[in-house]
Copies of this chain bind each other. A is one copy, B any other.
Amino acid sequence: MKIIVLKFGGTSVGSLEKIVKVTKIIISYIKKKYKVIVVSSAMSGVTNELLSKTKKIAQNFPNDEKDVILSTGEQISCALIAGKLCDFGYKSRSWLGWQLPILTSGNHSSSRIVKIQKTKILNYLKKDGIPIIAGYQGINNDFRITTLERGGSDTSAILCAKFFDAEKCIIFTDVKGVYTTDPNLIKNAKKIEKISYEEMLEMASLGAKVMQPVSIQEARLNRIEIDVRSTFSKMSGTLITKKKDILSKNTIRGISFTKNDAKLTLIGVKDKPGIAALIFKPLYENSINVDMVVQNVSAGGRETDLTFTIKLEDLKKTRKLVENNRYIKFRKLIVNRNVSKVSIVGVGMVTTPGVTFRMFRALAKKKINIEVISTSEIKISVLINKKNLKKSVEILHQEFKLNNSL
């Protein structure tokens, strides 16, 4: 069977009119003789609306019941798609997590898909049915409804492609593909034709909101090609694929950035072995993600300064945890809310010398000060003053010739 997985995001099924549009896309693939498996998100806004009910009614609303509530979003969108396909004369039905079943493990509200039972869907495909599978949900060993992380429908789709051995997975969304940087900020931003899993992972984690990072990681592990494209345009999208399939003259594939970071600097920390661990332990215990970290070389071995960045939303809590940390001593805590992280991403970086130098030189030319630096094999990130964000992205976009076609 020539199986294809089509995944529709929240904005793609955001209204009844859009759902009708989605059914027509599905039918176009049926006409191309594909066996189509559809995975759908909830209609946009629905999950947040349901979530706010649970928050309003109880301070400690249990995650298991939250999952029962949130899973109804996909239940409704999938049934609407299936119902409309029937109305158009096709054989279709919704499949909920418990009906396959889609087996998950881990905690409620952040479960992971362990297995997708294939038999029922394969039989249904053989009988020319179009299964519409609810994304973002599954069941656990206790036959309770579970949900994945937010945005988990991407992962549901990738794993459907894996378990059903699909030729391809197409992610239909509200953007035309993955861009060299945010087109809302830089009007020269170009759509990328092909990007590697690794690059996409960095782009996704660093702030490009096209796909959920976990889903890209699953695609990478299972070697599943993803085609990201717009539900509302016939234009080709971006293919996320293996490194070796990418031929590009560009070392750098894209530039991503964050807008909601905060930088904390502890001045005059009494230095001793394990001091960083003592600082970060309470943050870890409170699920606060520390991103960039810099520790100055201790002068004379007695005192050091330590700088790290977190999400702005975690600032209040973090500040309290640092100030109330009895195991460390420091002279002063400096907080900076006006920082942004700009990152250049590209698998070619590791084999191309001078990328770091070119990045720093380009920024220096415009007198943009770099506060913190962090690097990996395929990306370099710098922390800068937020007011320089647009200028920085612009100059780097130009420096690495991303304005030209890819």
Q: A residues engaging B (CB < 8 A)?
A: 16, 19-20, 50, 53-54, 56-62, 64-66, 68-69, 72, 75-76, 78-80, 82-84, 86-87, 93-94, 96, 98-99, 143-145
Residues on the B chain within 8 Å of A99, using CB:
143-144
Question: Could you show 22 A-B contacts with beta carbons less than 8 Å apart?
Answer: A16-B56, A16-B57, A19-B57, A20-B57, A53-B76, A53-B80, A54-B80, A54-B83, A58-B84, A59-B87, A60-B86, A61-B84, A61-B86, A62-B87, A64-B93, A65-B82, A68-B76, A68-B78, A68-B96, A69-B80, A72-B75, A96-B145
A56 CA / B87 CA spacing, docked (Å): 12
A65 CA / B64 CA spacing, docked (Å): 25
Most buried by B among A62, A65, A75, A144: A65
With A53-B80, A65-B82 given, name 14 new contacts (CB 8 A).
Answer: A57-B83, A57-B84, A59-B87, A61-B84, A62-B86, A62-B87, A64-B93, A65-B83, A68-B75, A68-B78, A69-B76, A72-B75, A72-B76, A75-B75
A93 touches B80 (CB 8 A): no
A78's nearest neighbour on chain B, judged by CB, is B68
A85 to nearest B CB, angstroms?
Answer: 9
B58 touches A87 (CB 8 A): yes
A83 CA / B79 CA spacing, docked (Å): 26
A215 to nearest B CB, angstroms?
Answer: 25
B79 touches A68 (CB 8 A): yes
A330 to nearest B CB, angstroms?
Answer: 39
Counting every copy of the chain, the complex holds 2
B83 touches A58 (CB 8 A): yes
Closest 5 CB pairs of A and B: A58-B87, A72-B72, A65-B83, A68-B79, A65-B79
Residues on the B chain within 8 Å of A60, using CB:
86-87
A402 to nearest B CB, angstroms?
Answer: 42
A62 touches B83 (CB 8 A): yes
B69 touches A79 (CB 8 A): yes
A144 CA / B83 CA spacing, docked (Å): 14
A275 to nearest B CB, angstroms?
Answer: 40
A54 CA / B80 CA spacing, docked (Å): 7
Residues on the B chain within 8 Å of A75, using CB:
68-69, 72, 75
Residues on the B chain within 8 Å of A66, using CB:
79, 83
A94 CA / B142 CA spacing, docked (Å): 13
A143 CA / B57 CA spacing, docked (Å): 32
Residues on the B chain within 8 Å of A145, using CB:
96
A222 CA / B19 CA spacing, docked (Å): 45
